[in-house]
């Protein structure tokens, strides 16, 4: 499958989400949504056939919304896949992992400038996982301090990242409130099933199906779910996790999940080992 065909197939998947996106955009000033809805963001990386890793988070945070407001834009941001625009993995963007204000002026640093101040701990921790994976995959290679690592142009360009749910919120509690409200909207009912009673899970399941379609399209070598809820929702499991790292399957695809509670940065070496074991 060539790049154009891959893009066309993905657009067909993403377009199924447009009715919900359009509804939220049109109703973002509604009392039910205005304090909760922070935007709509789909894939946050290049679209890649057979990526080494497909990382799946739970949903986008409110970072993009804050950026928009800082620029004087009051509407919640909408960021969709555009095959005409080159999209880098979101974690590699200047100022995302590393950046700070110095005398009220923002200084954005490269993601590999480890000695600089951390701006986003989540992004920094995810990049640390990539470093740990590369150390195991390429044990004979060294890493230059504060320099773009050698693996960026190879392994680093074969990674995808998206979220299970594209609705941006401050936290999971707000996302759940939006799901509950969407399940009661008459104009959206036909999307979520034929039952007279649409549940919150029916709304979630609608989004999960689009990620399942993405998986079947790009065929990743391994899937990594970021957070326990992401793993549970994606794999349809409810069993309480006692371990910090857990594994499962989604059809024929291996799925690794990890618990983000507490200081989860310490899990990076173990997560990396599980990933590399699947990539062998």
pTM of the complete model:
0.93
What's the whole-number mean pLDDT along residues 86-112? 91
Residue with tokens 């590369």, as numbered in its chain: 134
What's the whole-number mean pLDDT along residues 14-19? 96
CA–CA dist 51, 58 (Å, integer)? 20
pLDDT, tens digit, 9 for 90 and up, residues 57-68: 999 986 666 676
Given pLDDT bands bounded at 50, 70 and 90, which one contains residue 142? confident
- The answer for 18, left when phi > 0, alpha when psi is -120 to 50, beta otherwise, is alpha
Under 8 Å between Cβ of 23 and 33: no
Given pLDDT bands bounded at 50, 70 and 90, which one contains residue 51? very high
HSE-CB at 74 with a 13 A cutoff on CA atoms is 4
Residue (of 163, 181, 171, 231) closest to 20 by Cα position? 181
CA–CA dist 120, 126 (Å, integer)? 10
Measured CA distances, 215 to 47, 236, 255, 259 (Å): 11, 16, 11, 22
Identify the pLDDT of residue 68: 61
By three-state DSSP, how is residue 184 classified?
Answer: coil
HEC string for 33-84 = CCCCCCEEECCCCCCCCCCCEEEEECCCCCHHHHHHHHCCCCCCCEECCCCC
What's the whole-number average pLDDT of the chain? 91
CA–CA dist 256, 245 (Å, integer)? 7
pLDDT, tens digit, 9 for 90 and up, residues 240-261: 777 899 999 999 999 999 999 8
Q: Can you list the domains of the chain with their CATH numbers?
A: 3-90+121-279 (3.40.470.10)
> Exposure string (b/e) for 156-172, b if CB count within 10 Å is 16 or more?
bbbbbbbbbbbbbbeee
Provide the 10 A C-beta neighbour count for residue 132: 19
Query: Read out DSSP for 72-131?
Result: T--SPPEE---TTS----GGGSTTTSBEEEETTEEEE--TT-TTSPBS-HHHHHHHHHHH
């Amino acid at each position: 499958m060539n790049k154009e065909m891959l893009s066309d197939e993905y657009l067909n998947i993403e377009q199924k989400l447009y009715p919900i996106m359009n509804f939220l955009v049109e109703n973002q000033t509604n009392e039910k949504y205005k304090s909760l809805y922070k935007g709509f963001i789909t894939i946050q990386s290049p679209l890649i056939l057979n990526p080494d890793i497909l990382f799946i988070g739970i949903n986008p945070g409110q970072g993009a919304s804050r950026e928009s407001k800082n620029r004087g834009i009051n509407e919640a941001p909408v960021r969709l896949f555009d095959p005409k625009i080159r999209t880098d993995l979101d974690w590699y963007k200047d100022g995302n992992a590393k950046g700070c204000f110095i005398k009220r002026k923002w200084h954005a640093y490269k993601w590999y400038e480890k000695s600089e101040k951390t701006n986003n701990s989540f992004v920094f921790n995810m990049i640390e996982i990539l470093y740990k994976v590369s150390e195991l995959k390429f044990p004979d290679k060294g890493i230059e301090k504060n320099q773009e690592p050698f693996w960026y142009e190879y392994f680093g360009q074969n990674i995808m990242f998206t979220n299970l749910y594209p609705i941006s919120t401050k936290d999971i509690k707000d996302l759940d409130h939006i799901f509950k409200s969407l399940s009661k909207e008459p104009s959206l009912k036909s999307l979520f099933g034929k039952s007279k009673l649409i549940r919150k899970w029916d709304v979630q399941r609608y989004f999960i199906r689009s990620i399942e379609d993405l998986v079947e399209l790009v065929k990743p070598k391994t899937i990594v779910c970021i957070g326990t809820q992401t793993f549970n929702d994606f794999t349809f499991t409810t069993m309480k996790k006692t371990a910090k790292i857990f594994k499962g399957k989604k059809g024929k695809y291996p799925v690794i999940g990890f618990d983000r509670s507490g200081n989860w940065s310490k899990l990076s070496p173990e997560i990396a080992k599980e990933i590399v074991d699947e990539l062998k």
